[in-house]
Structure 1
Amino acid sequence: MGFDVPADVLAFLDGASTLPRPRRRVVGPPPPPADPTPWEKIFGAPLTAEEWGVLTRLARRREVSAGEAVLDRLGIAQYLVLLLRGDVVLGSRAMDGDLRTERTLTGPAWLDLSSAWLGEPHAMEAQALSDVTVAELPLDALRLQLAAHTSLSERLCVCLAQQIGVLTGTSRNLLHNDASARFAQWLLQRCPPGESLTCEVRLQERKRDIAQQLAMTPETLSRLIRNLEQRGFISMQGYTVRIHDRSQLQRCAGATR
């Protein structure tokens, strides 16, 4: 039984360049410097007055326009870098100079919490998909404060542990699941929180960027999308995927659950 696929969806599936690199959303204005909300979201709890005082004294804010570099690998990292608002793609450069996508982040989220501690360049480059605001904590100055603010030290350790957990799950998905399960898990991770069986996911990357993240070819990704559409699990309009029943995708991703 055949069905009609919109032209913009075909362009996405076939890797055509008629569609620009999508942006995840139009972001609002930068949070005021005195607003602790992004920091409290990333730490998962309200900050004490002392903790907030340390962060506001040390953090250097930086605005980056859409399309510009946020992080590079040209020198040793000296800052812990937090994405306060906006959307960023992280990856590494291919031989042709193209940025190979490994993951995307929406603020507030840590862009790099580890490289400065290791005395190494940033592990990945980062490019702004939207206008973004970042906060940079100089590690040398932060070290001097942590001995007197042990609760802040513990918060940073928890953040590092959370990042290790996410990376472990991603690695397990890539190593142990087939292509169908990997893509189903990838979609589920991008569903808004809640118990609703239906939801919409805005694809922020091009097809080849998504395929790179999932260790598959763009052609394989195209076949998976068509298969899920034919089975009635999802429908696609432009860069928006509507998931009709999360439980169906959960069964597809059963090897990871």
Structure 2
Amino acid sequence: MPILRGCEDAVLELLEEGAHFVRFGSGASVFERGSMPTGLFFVHSGAVRLMSLCPEGRPKVVEIFEPGGMFGEIGVFTGQRYRTWTQAIGAVVLIHVARERMLEAVAVDNALCNRMLGAVCARTQRLVDAISSTASGTASVRVASYLLEQLGRSPRPDACVVLPAPKKAIASLLNLTPETLSRVLRNMVEEGVITVGGRRIHVRNRPLLAAMLSSGTDGTIT
């Protein structure tokens, strides 16, 4: 797990004492809203979506955790019941580290504590940016911003983005309907900005994609 790189052997052994693999089928709940935290989860394979309730009472995807990612840290450090819930996207293998062992590890490893703090701060900033984008941005701005973020997070020489979840979940993440997301992607294809094959999106023209952030159109660049 990236966050654990650099840990001394003694710290890794401490975490190992409280760690075990857990497996979930598609759609299974990893933890429920209102449940007590048991520990920190690392994604070994597959993906997990973090869900919350909209003001209207509808479930919404807040974030998607991919391999190497971690979640559940709010419960680990506060000890409070979860206000969100998580679901497996397809078959998922996670590593669960007991809360007590995680707290012991950060207490003796200042570097690990700082890395975790940095990761949590970075996630908070992404959520703030996402709220800002979905609150006022048009559909194309939200999609373009998401694709550019994914390109920056995991640069690939072929300029491809592999969606970590079905388009329906991505639409919920961007506060869009699946139909609107499909329309925006279709418009981007027609403009020659991207090509789409299932979950694989090839960005053919990154400058045009970036231009959508300031154009404010719903998929048509003028």
Structure 2 residue aligned with 1:209:
169
Larger radius of gyration: 1
Query: SS of the residue aligned with 1:121?
Result: coil
- Aligned partner of 1:193: which letter? S
| SS of match in other structure, 2:140 | helix
Name the aligned partner's letter for residue 119 of structure 1: G
Aligned-residue Cα RMSD (Å) equals: 3.0
Pick closer, same or farther for the CA change 1:150–1:66 going to 2, 3 Å: same
Name the structure 2 match of 1:27. Answer: none
Shift in CA distance, 237/75, structure 1 to aligned 2, threshold 3 Å: closer
2:28 corresponds to: 68
Indicate conservation of the 8 Å contact 1:114/1:160, yes or no.
Answer: no
What are the Cα deviations for residues 57-102 of structure 1, in whole angstroms up to 9, with x where unaligned?
22233222334222222422131222232222222468xx986433
Identity %: 22
In 1, Cα distance between equivalents of 2:73 and 2:143: 27
- Letter paired with 2:70: W
SS in structure 1 at match of 2:176: coil
Partner of 1:235: 195
Q: Does 1:225 align with 2:213?
A: no
Residue type at the aligned position of 2:3: I
Counterpart position of 2:133: 173
Q: 1:193 aligns to what?
A: 154
Residue equivalent to 2:220: none
How many residue pairs get aligned? The number is 213
1:55 aligns with one of 11, 15, 30: 15
1:77 to 2:52 alignment: no
Deviations 1:112-147 (A, max 9, x none): 211232232334322222332222233334434544
Q: Which has the higher contact order (CA 8 A, sep 6+)?
A: 1
Alpha-carbon spacing, 1:172–1:52, altered in 2? closer, same or farther (3 Å) = same
Alignment TM-score, normalising by the size of structure 1: 0.69
Runs (4+) of structure 1 moved beyond 6 Å?
Answer: none
Which residue is 1:86 aligned to?
Answer: 46
- Give 1 or 2: higher helix fraction: 2
